[in-house]
Amino acid sequence: MPVLPMPATQGRLHTRLPMGPRNKLAALLLVVGTPGFSAHAQVAGDWSLLIEPYVMFPNMKGETGVANLPPASVDEDPADIFSNLQFGAMLYAEARTSSWAFSSDVLYMKLEAEVAPDSQVFDGTAEVSQVGWELAALRRLSSWFELGIAATYNKIDADVDLVVNGFQGPIPISAGLDEDWIDPSIVARASVPLGEKWQFQVRGNVGGFGVGSEMFYQLQVDAIWLVSYRWQIGLGYRWIDIDYDHGSGTDRFVYDMSTFGPVLRAGFSF
């Protein structure tokens, strides 16, 4: 998630405009009217804005448990995910000053995965819809380091269809459940320029603390190439791990899953 430059260095990536009513409206229209690219815009005073769609090529590994069904193991690589992906959308937005950053990161995926067979499960599928929405506030402590807090809303809808091994042969069983919760976390971000054309960034969260998930963490590493005065491309890697276990009997829901893989961003600055 590229960090907007400090106001003192914004001459490279931003064009400052006199912020009369017409120019404010024009800047807003430019931001919201450029789909598929990130847009840095100076919106008022020292505030700056980033809007950035992105795509993740995910692996998923872990298990989900619904009601009284045996745990369903999932181990899908990017080729499996995209062959079974029904819908996906990802959007990052950030407003910041020289001292503070406030961000929103929305991730949505709906997919159908094959269940890995084991001693209990002969065959099956798991359809999972996953929403993750993080709101974060970070305070700049130095020229390269920020520290803050975040809250992530998670909503998982899972429908599991299994064929289990019974005494008299395979038995088909099905169940579905949805669960939502909020994970508080501590978030840190480090950003280091590498010459005039490159920027390296690391961002991480750790949280859950039993408030929502037993444990929640994510780590993202990005290399950002400033192709030209206006264009930039980001390539990185993201790892999200959620360990959630709640309820019992027919209300039992387990989601112990790692989602990880390359992330690609394309940006246009003005």
pLDDT of residue 28: 37
Who has greater pLDDT, 19 or 208? 208
Who has greater pLDDT, 166 or 243? 243
Whether the CB-CB separation of 223 and 198 falls below 8 Å is answered with yes
The mean of the pLDDT values for the chain is 78
What is the C-alpha to C-alpha distance for residues 108 and 90, in angstroms, rounded to an integer? 6
Whether the CB-CB separation of 26 and 77 falls below 8 Å is answered with no
45, 54, 240, 60 alpha-carbon torsion, rounded to 10°: 170
> Residue 199's closest CA among 221, 231, 225?
225
**3-class secondary structure, 116:** strand
pTM to 2 decimal places: 0.77
- Of 15-29, 41-55, 178-192, which one has max mean pLDDT? 178-192
> Residue 70's closest CA among 113, 131, 126, 112?
126
> Residue 222's closest CA among 92, 128, 130?
92
50-65 pLDDT, tens digit per residue, is: 888 898 888 888 888 7
44, 47, 51, 54 alpha-carbon torsion, rounded to 10°: 170
Who has greater pLDDT, 255 or 38? 255
What is the average pLDDT across 169-174?
73
* pLDDT at 253 > cutoff 90: no
* pLDDT at 21 > cutoff 70: no
pLDDT of residue 123: 67
pLDDT of residue 37: 42
pLDDT of residue 144: 94
* pLDDT at 192 > cutoff 50: yes
Q: Within 10 Å of residue 77's Cβ, how many Cβ atoms?
A: 13
Amino acid residing at 139: R
195-240 pLDDT, tens digit per residue, is: 889 999 999 999 999 999 999 999 999 998 888 777 778 999 999 9
75-125 pLDDT, tens digit per residue, is: 777 777 666 666 678 999 998 899 999 999 999 988 777 676 666 676 677
